[in-house]
Structure 1
Amino acid sequence: MQRLFILPFIFLMVCLACTIGWFLYRAGNDATEVLARNALMEVMGRVGQAIDRQTLSARESLRVVAPDPIPPLEIGGKPVLIPFPTDRRLLEERLWIANSLFEDPSYVYFGGVDGSFTGLRQESANVYMFSTRDGQGGKNYVYYLNGPGTEMKLRAVQEYEPRDRPWYTRAVERKRETWSPVFTDFRLKFLGLTLSKPVYAESGQLLGVATSSIGLRHLTTFLQTLPLGSNGVAFVTEMGGEMIASSANEALYKPTTGSEFERLNASRSTSATVQQAFMAVQEYLKTNKPVPGQLVLLASPAGNNQIAVAFRLHHDDAGIDWLAISAAPRSDFLGSVTGGVYQTLLLGLVAVCLTFVIGFVLLRWVLRDIRMLTLAAKSIGNGEPFPKLNIDRSDEIGQLAQSFQEMERNLRTDRLTNVLNRDSLIAQIEFRRRNASEANPLHFALLFIDLDRFKAVNDQFGHDEGDRVLISVASQLQRALRRDDTVARFGGDEFVVYLHGVSDEEIAKSIAEKIRHSINKPIPGRDGHEYQIDASVGVALFPQDGLDVETLLRVADSRMFDQKRMHRILAY
């Protein structure tokens, strides 16, 4: 009888222990999936910002050489055309200004309809290449110099007809800004990209084509600095898979014959993770049409050989169609959970062997803590307020809880200024949109703020002083807002302010002007210096200017650049 009693009791304890293990595995597996998703979302947000910065440098340099028409102040009015200089000296001044806008200078040049050509590129520190060609039948003269007004030394005389070049003919055919295909610069040995724009006189007559050419090597350098884990990758490709940038340590092109190069395709990458991720994206695109700017997270079934994949299509009307992809093996995230799961399972087995009651209490205790971690991780991904974790433990689960809280701070706030970051602001706005209703409609305004004269502080006094300015600006913005309003740093010297309940454009503009005045106050710096900066602010209203956050940001960004161009014109 005693044996008959012991055997069912042992069987019951084994079943209970297996149940504990199964629940622990399921909870750990759920937490792993959420961790993978949020980590990839953070990486993709940074990659998107890097791509935007890279293409923005070409676009803004080009707009200095050939500015867009100024929008009319009144509805129905005509845009104001900024005359293109016919004097070569004035054109050269614009080229020098355009070349100095960004830390990574671009090659800016202009080909005239008469066959003339003027170009400027920074080869290295204080070394510039200046090219010039007269009209029909002239030679192209290449000079080297150390800066504006310095002695020019002739280096080469070339046969060069700009009107036959692809950058010229494509822009003339399309009659608008046009990106070139990604190319390999055979002389400087890096991938590059060119943005060209036809220039017209006020009469509509074609004057020529202005162009800004940029290198893409800094995009790879940025990807290699991302916190991707031991086996994670991030890369950017064209739609066909031709690699543009990659965090994997591999050459993106190789020489074939002469000055020709063969680009690396993601399907032939030396990284198995890159190959798997690209194949997963291609399978998705066979049955789904990608939406530009939309982040897509692909399913990650359980298994040691499976990977978590996220991608986004970057598109603009000038001709860019790039896939930004991030991926990591699921095991990279599982390792942070399984240790705590196995240790807790062992404790559960010991407790069950002691008494049935202790085992049951332990089961509830373990599941409660892991479930709290899972719900907390899901709340981060959904943009909801982060719940308080009342987990006071010193084991791996306690460490994981601390990691969750640290991850929440890293995911939602900018580390330098301690305000929200881009993805966190967008997630919070989307959370408010989902919870709005006809009985409780949502109205808000977005202010896109870009600092003027900030680059001068960085260049003259160093990045530490530039960081001091950014921290001060973030603090001023927080003090200027109400409790329901929010400020976020979007990267570099750009901030976005969310104004809750603001539906009137004039009110939003008055708040924007108030913010601009608060930023315009002198900022104390090192050694008694004071920095005087300004800001350009663009306003967009929901739902008047757009029904989604990306549209509102584009509208506010465009209006901000219109104001920035006006500031530059007034400064001249």
Structure 2
Amino acid sequence: MVCLVLTIGWFLYRAGDDATEVLARNALTELIGRVSQAIDRQTMGARESLNVVAPPAVRTAAPGQPPAMLPFPVHSKELEERLWLANLMFEDPSYVYFGGADGSFLGIKQEEGSQFTYSVREPDGKNYVYQLRGPGTPMELVAAQEYEPRKRPWYVQAVQRGRETWSSVYADYRQKHLGINLSKPIFDADGKLLGVANSSIGLLRLTTLLRALPLGAHGVAFVTELNGDMIADSVNEPLHQIRDQDPDLRRLNASQSSSPLVRQAYEEVRRYLARQPAQSGKLMLLSSRTEGGKIEVAFRLHHDAAGLDWLAISAAPRSDFLGSVTSGVYQTLMLGLMAVCLTFVIGFLLLRWVLRDIRRLTQAAKSIGNGSPFPDLNINRNDEIGQLAQSFVEMERNLRTDRLTNVLNRDSLIAQIDFRRSNCVDGSPLHFGLLFIDLDRFKAVNDEYGHDEGDKVLVTIAQRLQHTLRHDDSVARFGGDEFVVYLHGVSDMEVARSIADKIRHAVNKPIPGREGQQYVVDASVGVSLYPDDGLDVETLLRVADSRMFDQKRLHRILSV
């Protein structure tokens, strides 16, 4: 009897430990996905703003012909218009400016809300700084400075490299948070340097996002450079120090964090990178044992040709996920002891019953990770295992859906598409289309009526998209005012475009708002088809996103 009881306890412990490991890794994977998405949106915003100032060359249809380049503005008025457009692409305060090879300078900075700073310098003159409330509003002179843009680090570094270049992370002395610049040298058709365009972005949004994530009782998430210098974290500690008598910026290193879990997680990642280099964009999962028990670590390297090398890291003790399982194991073990004492048969039946439920939990945890349909648990129990089963159902809903709009989130849609691709048969090849949707004029609703009204607009748009689609189609929110629609079985571009027009018509209907207001937003829609435009989801999204931006530019031209 004792051996049987020990066997029961061992199998219960192993099954619970396996389920907990899968659950912990899936939770960390979801967290890293959110952090990576935030990093990509901020860095992509900086790059797209520079592309507004100086659009990249466009390939021509004629073979052998060089790419066509849009001429860079000759007059300051045209350059100013582009800077305003680039600046208004950001939801957060931003700074976009241009330093000319002749020493001229023009920059527009959004301080907060509708407060802007306008800086202008003629060649060999002073830099005049004005305050204004927006394009075309009266300007008030606030300062006249000695400023030579060609001697600034962002200008020198971009000219030396001859391509887009990220600066080092620096401290914004006015805003009291970290920031980074992306600089882009501008050349004319003959290769002559015209100047350097620069987009300055703040990194406070990353820390705000990390500290709002559902990390569990002891979980952490943070972003560092390769050397461990902190960029953002979920721990409430200062990331840098600025002293009046010390001009150097003192950055917090992950190895010096007040959180033992941050220090341990970074040390595990550092050891891994010392053995073998990580692939950019690839999610890595690590396990480690510390004095306090096992921890799970997930990280992803963000690298680009402009010099960005950031690590997004998330870690949590396995004990954060083990509590309810352990409690259920102990209770069931006691029931097993009683059953074995009564009869061998009752104990055997009890063992099968308990293991069956835990196997279902393990299978459910795996299905959350690989994107397969969530199985029906059919676990109707009032103990801790029943509570854990209910937690699995709630977790599946939280991991796969966007909390605001209740449609799928980015990772869930990608996982479902990958699941369909991996399970299609040769006799019935998979065809589908992707629609990348970006809302136009949505930012105006947010700015004028507040984020609560903006959220109502997003919820209404999500409902309209769901009502417009078929049963086999899916819609997901990719963050902000961007949605992606999966069109199952669509293989014809004209069919996809007709659905896109139907969606635009649905989105364009007025939306009732506060105090009788009527909000009207539009949508720019990009279309891509599988397998015609790509064989993986990332390629299809990139193609659809590019076509969406083309349509958005067309809308702007037509609206002028």
Write the mapping of 1:59-458 to structure 2, written as runs, cut at 5 A: 59-69=47-57, 81-135=69-123, 137-149=124-136, 152-202=139-189, 204-255=191-242, 258-299=246-287, 304-458=292-446
Pick which of 170-179 and 346-355 moved more.
Answer: 170-179
In 1, are the aligned partners of 2:529 and 2:540 still within 8 Å (CA)?
yes
Per-residue deviation at 1:460? 2.1
Distance across 2 between alignment mates of 1:462 and 1:161: 39
2:342 partner letter: L
Distance across 2 between alignment mates of 1:77 and 1:535: 34
Per-residue deviation at 1:154? 4.0
1:206 partner letter: L
In 2, are the aligned partners of 1:522 and 1:530 still within 8 Å (CA)?
yes
| Counterpart residue number, 1:534 | 522
When normalised by structure 2's length, the TM-score is 0.93
In 2, are the aligned partners of 1:304 and 1:330 still within 8 Å (CA)?
no
Give 1:29's match in structure 2, choosing from 12, 17, 28. 17
Identical pairs, percent: 69
| Counterpart residue number, 1:9 | none
Distance across 1 between alignment mates of 2:21 and 2:288: 8
2:227 partner letter: G
Larger radius of gyration: 1
Distance across 2 between alignment mates of 1:382 and 1:272: 31
| Aligned alpha-carbon RMSD (Å) | 2.4
2:463 partner letter: S
Residue segments in structure 2 that go unaligned for 5+ positions in a row:
none
1:143 partner letter: Y
Per-residue deviation at 1:67? 3.6
Distance across 1 between alignment mates of 2:185 and 2:216: 45
Give 1:547's match in structure 2, choosing from 525, 528, 535. 535
Distance across 2 between alignment mates of 1:423 and 1:124: 32
Aligned to 1:317, the other structure's residue is in SS state: coil
In 2, are the aligned partners of 1:186 and 1:259 still within 8 Å (CA)?
no
Structure 1 pair 259–304 and aligned structure 2 pair: CA distance change class (3 A): closer
**CA offsets per residue over residues 429-464 of structure 1, 9 Å max, x none?**
111222234334323222211111111122222223
1:323 partner letter: L
| Counterpart residue number, 1:4 | none
Distance across 2 between alignment mates of 1:206 and 1:65: 15
Aligned to 1:439, the other structure's residue is in SS state: coil
Structure 1 pair 72–461 and aligned structure 2 pair: CA distance change class (3 A): farther
1:309 partner letter: V
In 1, are the aligned partners of 2:32 and 2:299 still within 8 Å (CA)?
yes
Structure 1 pair 223–388 and aligned structure 2 pair: CA distance change class (3 A): same
When normalised by structure 1's length, the TM-score is 0.91
Structure 1 pair 145–203 and aligned structure 2 pair: CA distance change class (3 A): same
**CA offsets per residue over residues 476-497 of structure 1, 9 Å max, x none?**
2223222222111111111111
In 1, are the aligned partners of 2:224 and 2:311 still within 8 Å (CA)?
yes
Structure 1 pair 468–512 and aligned structure 2 pair: CA distance change class (3 A): same
In 1, are the aligned partners of 2:435 and 2:527 still within 8 Å (CA)?
yes
| Counterpart residue number, 1:569 | 557
**CA offsets per residue over residues 75-101 of structure 1, 9 Å max, x none?**
888766444333323433433343333
Distance across 2 between alignment mates of 1:542 and 1:566: 25
Aligned to 1:248, the other structure's residue is in SS state: coil
Residue segments in structure 1 that go unaligned for 5+ positions in a row:
1-12
Distance across 1 between alignment mates of 2:505 and 2:380: 46
Distance across 1 between alignment mates of 2:116 and 2:246: 27
Structure 1 pair 48–370 and aligned structure 2 pair: CA distance change class (3 A): same
Give 2:479's match in structure 1, choosing from 481, 491, 510. 491
In 1, are the aligned partners of 2:180 and 2:201 still within 8 Å (CA)?
yes
Pick which of 537-546 and 486-495 moved more.
Answer: 537-546
In 1, are the aligned partners of 2:511 and 2:520 still within 8 Å (CA)?
yes
In 1, are the aligned partners of 2:268 and 2:288 still within 8 Å (CA)?
no
Aligned to 2:293, the other structure's residue is in SS state: coil
Per-residue deviation at 1:290? 2.4
In 1, are the aligned partners of 2:169 and 2:180 still within 8 Å (CA)?
yes
Distance across 1 between alignment mates of 2:510 and 2:113: 32
